[in-house]
Structure 1
Amino acid sequence: MFQVDGRPTASRVILDLLTASPEVEFGLDMLTLAGEIMGLTAANMRVSAARMCAEGRITRTTRGTYTLLTEALPAYTEVSSWRTRIERMVPWDGTWTAVEQSRVKRSDRAVLRAHNNALSLAGMADWTPAVALRPNNLDHGTDGLRATLSRLGAAPECHVYRIDQLSADDVEAVHRLWDTTSRTRNLQKAARALTDATRTSEDRTAVENARTSLLLGSAVISTIVRDPLLPEELAPLSPLAELIEQMKEFQDHALSLWLELLEDGHRT
């Protein structure tokens, strides 16, 4: 079964709504109603919105509505561009991009957590304790990877370079760094979950469908964003491409439903 977090936080609901609809101006009344739909109290939503403003993740405009401060969200580009994610891929020439990280401080847990998350979002896999790598099949090569890792919060002590030649034994070992069977299986589970949610939507109320769409949609987009974008030589691309197309249709319908509920002031 595809894993979905059934208990989102208020900040998660706010970020999901603002990221999915950056052109929409969300007032506090709309956010508190969204929280109510998700089983959260109005007080919870107000406190979270205030805290997120203080943290610099969102801001309140002169019109009294909330918008994202994208520069404070390292993964915003990845999350907001999930629809076009596979367009970053280029034909693979058999080389690898690597990150040498022996100088990264392991004693600072916050720095290490941010660094590891950056490498994960970039599709890197640990080859040795000091080196992580991925196929060199993304646009802009090593320069692009440096920029991506810096934006995502990788430790500045790491170094990015290209590996042109590996021994046959190393190539065989490196190919096993990604569990491509589990990756494909999880993509297919996500696709089935979307199909099941769409098929059974007529049996649920509009509010129930909105709740389901946010929880499931968030989980599927996370799966898409965290896909390592491996070349066809290592893993089939079609399960990811098909999931993205399916998710586009699912989210378009979900956004229409959410905006209709919020603009009409529909309450549970």
Structure 2
Amino acid sequence: MFQVDGRPTAARVILDLLTASPEVEFGLDMLTLAGEIMGLTAANMRVSAARMCAEGRITRTTRGSYTLQVEALPAYTEVSSWRSRIERMVQWDGTWTAVEHSRVKRSDRAVLRAHNNALSLAGMAEWTPAVALRPNNLDHGTDGLRATLSRLGAAPECHVYRIDELSTEDVDALHRLWDTASRTRHLQEASRALADAVRVSDDRAAAENARSSLLLGSAVISTIVHDPLLPEELAPVTPLVELIEQMKEFQDHALTLWLELLDDGQRT
């Protein structure tokens, strides 16, 4: 069964709304109403918005609305571009892109956590304690991977390079680094969860539909963003392609519903 976090924080709600609708100006009244729909108090939303401003993750404009500070959100590009994520894939030539990170300080937990998160978002898998790698099937090759890892917060001590001419035994071992059966099953579970949500939406109130759509949509987008984008030679691509198309339609409907509720709330 596809897992959805049923207890979002105020910060999560704010980030989800601002990321999904960057062209919309969200005033504090809209954010507090969104919090109410999600079961959060107005105080929760106000305090969280103020804290996020102080942290530099969002900013308040002269019009009194809130916008994202994307420079402070390393994963913003990945999250905001989930709709076109599949377009980053190119034909795999059988080579690999690798990250050698033996010099990364393991004693600095914050640096290590950011580094490991960057590797995960880039679809890297651990081959040895010092080397993580992935198929070389993304646009711009090693240069693109260097730029992606730097943007995501990988430690600067790591080195990115290409690997080829591996032994048959090594290639076989590398193919087993990703649990592709589990990955495909997870994508299919997400797809079924979206289909189920659409089927039951007519039986629920608009506010409940909005709440459910934000929770489920956030979980599905996270699944898409964390997909390693493996080539067809390692895992079927179709389940991811189908999930992205399904999620596009789901989010379009969800955003329309959310903006109607928030707009109506402002007028009442």
Residue 266 of structure 1 and its aligned partner are, at CA, apart by 7.7
User: Is 1:200 matched up with 2:196?
Assistant: no
| Aligned counterparts, 1:102-181, within 5 A | 102-181=102-181
Determine helix, strand or coil for the equivalent of 1:66. strand
| Distance across 2 between alignment mates of 1:77 and 1:166 | 33
Query: Unaligned stretches of 5+ in structure 2?
Result: none
User: Is 1:217 matched up with 2:206?
Assistant: no
What corresponds to 2:29 in structure 1? 29
- Which letter maps to 1:189? E
| Distance across 2 between alignment mates of 1:109 and 1:123 | 21
What corresponds to 1:242 in structure 2? 242
Q: Give the number of aligned pairs.
A: 267
Determine helix, strand or coil for the equivalent of 2:156. coil
- Which letter maps to 1:166? L
Deviations 1:83-126 (A, max 9, x none): 00000000000000000010000000000000000000000000
Greater CA deviation, 41-50 or 258-267?
A: 258-267
Residue pair 2:74, 2:153 contacting (<8 A) in 1 also: yes
- Which letter maps to 1:243? L
| Distance across 2 between alignment mates of 1:101 and 1:73 | 23
Determine helix, strand or coil for the equivalent of 2:214. helix
User: Is 1:47 matched up with 2:47?
Assistant: yes
| Distance across 1 between alignment mates of 2:156 and 2:68 | 26
Residue 165 of structure 1 and its aligned partner are, at CA, apart by 1.4
| Distance across 2 between alignment mates of 1:128 and 1:166 | 15
What corresponds to 2:56 in structure 1? 56
What corresponds to 2:71 in structure 1? 71
Deviations 1:20-41 (A, max 9, x none): 0000000000000000000000
What corresponds to 1:95 in structure 2? 95
Q: What stretches of structure 1 move > 2 A for 4+ residues in a row? A: none
- Which letter maps to 2:257? L
Determine helix, strand or coil for the equivalent of 1:161. strand
| Distance across 2 between alignment mates of 1:169 and 1:151 | 34
Residue 164 of structure 1 and its aligned partner are, at CA, apart by 1.3
| Distance across 1 between alignment mates of 2:145 and 2:193 | 32
Determine helix, strand or coil for the equivalent of 1:99. strand
- Which letter maps to 1:190? A
RMSD: 0.9
| Distance across 2 between alignment mates of 1:149 and 1:191 | 29
Determine helix, strand or coil for the equivalent of 2:83. helix
Determine helix, strand or coil for the equivalent of 2:198. helix
Percent identity over paired residues? 88
| Distance across 2 between alignment mates of 1:236 and 1:126 | 21
Query: Unaligned stretches of 5+ in structure 1?
Result: none
| Distance across 2 between alignment mates of 1:242 and 1:147 | 28
What corresponds to 1:263 in structure 2? 263
Determine helix, strand or coil for the equivalent of 1:200. helix
| Distance across 2 between alignment mates of 1:7 and 1:113 | 24
Deviations 1:38-72 (A, max 9, x none): 00000000000000000000000000000001111
- Which letter maps to 2:132? A
Residue pair 2:29, 2:266 contacting (<8 A) in 1 also: no
| Distance across 1 between alignment mates of 2:195 and 2:111 | 39
TM-score w.r.t. the length of structure 1 is 0.99
- Which letter maps to 2:52? M
- Which letter maps to 1:186? H
Residue pair 2:30, 2:266 contacting (<8 A) in 1 also: no
TM-score w.r.t. the length of structure 2 is 0.99
